Structure formats: C-alpha cells, structure tokens
Structure 1
Amino acid sequence: MAFCPICNGFEEIKIACSSCGNALMDNGRIMDYYDDYSPYMPIDQMKMEDGYPADYENRECPHLLKCAVCGMNVVRLIKE
C-alpha cells in the first residue's frame, strides 16, 4: 500500500512561487476541497474522479499549494 509522505507528515513541500518567489504553503489534497464530504471519501475513489487521470495509476497525491503573498494557486502531484 502506498502513502503520501506529505499527508502523513514525513516530508514537507518546499517550493517557491513562480510568480513572486515566496514559499508556497501546502493546503492539503485538492480533492478535499470538492465538496463537504470529499475529505471523508476513500482516497482511491476520489483519485478516480478528481480530474487528474494519471494520479491513481501512478500512485500520486495531488496537493493544492498556495502563495500567501500573491495568492497564486498550483496543484503539485506528490509521489506516494
């Protein structure tokens, strides 16, 4: 069974914003923002419906990253 090192607190994302250069903050899995119940749905089921076709097959976890300075959002796929 694969697991996301970011979701489980083993690693941190350290990526600079491509717009302003400040650090991007991890806001968790993108699918947790889809509706009120999505954080409680099975992860593999949500991966099949999240709009990122290869994340389930490639065992990747899509995280929403946001810049606190300029507000830029980006989704980064994290290898599980």
Structure 2
Amino acid sequence: MAICALCNSLKVLELNCPKCNDRLKDSGKASDFLDPYGHYNDEETVKMGDGYPNTAKNQICPHLMICINCGHNEVKFIQEE
C-alpha cells in the first residue's frame, strides 16, 4: 500500500505563490478541506469521491496549497510512495 509522504510528515513541499511570491501553506488533503468528516472513511472510499478521477488508480494524493498573504489556492497532486 502506498502512502503520501506529505500526509505522513516524511517530506515538506515548498512552493511559492504565483501571484505574490509568498510561501504556500500545505493545508492537507483537499478531501479533508471539502468534507470535514471524510477522514473517518477508508482512503479508497475517500479517493473515489474526491472529485479527481484518477487519484485511486494512479496513487496520488491531492493537497490544497493556500497563500496566507493573498488568498490564492491551488491543488497539487503528490505521488504516493
């Protein structure tokens, strides 16, 4: 079974905001942001309903990155290991 290195604090993703160049904050899995009770479900169930068609098949974890300075947000797809 693959795991997300960001979710398990094995790696840190350091990206800058494309609008203001401030550091983007990793707000965790996009599914946790959209469904606050989603973490009670198993990972495969969450991935089937996260709105991204290939997250389960390709073993990727969508993370919501937010700029605290200007409010820009984007989803980055992290390859699970």
* TM-score of Structure 1 vs Structure 2, range by shorter chain: over 0.9
1:62: which partner in 2? Answer: 62
- How high is the TM-score relative to the length of structure 2? 0.93
- How high is the TM-score relative to the length of structure 1? 0.94
1:18: which partner in 2? Answer: 18
Gapped runs of 5+ residues in structure 1? none
One-letter identity of the residue aligned with 1:66: I
Q: Deviations over 1:10-53 (max 9, x none)?
A: 00010111111111000000101223321211111111111111
1:75 aligns with 2:70: no
Within 5 Å, which residues of 2 pair with 1:41-52? 41-52=41-52
Number of equivalenced pairs? 80
Q: Identity of counterpart residues, as a percentage?
A: 40
Q: How much has 1:54 moved relative to structure 2?
A: 1.2
Give me the CA root mean square deviation: 0.9
Q: How much has 1:78 moved relative to structure 2?
A: 0.3
Gapped runs of 5+ residues in structure 2? none
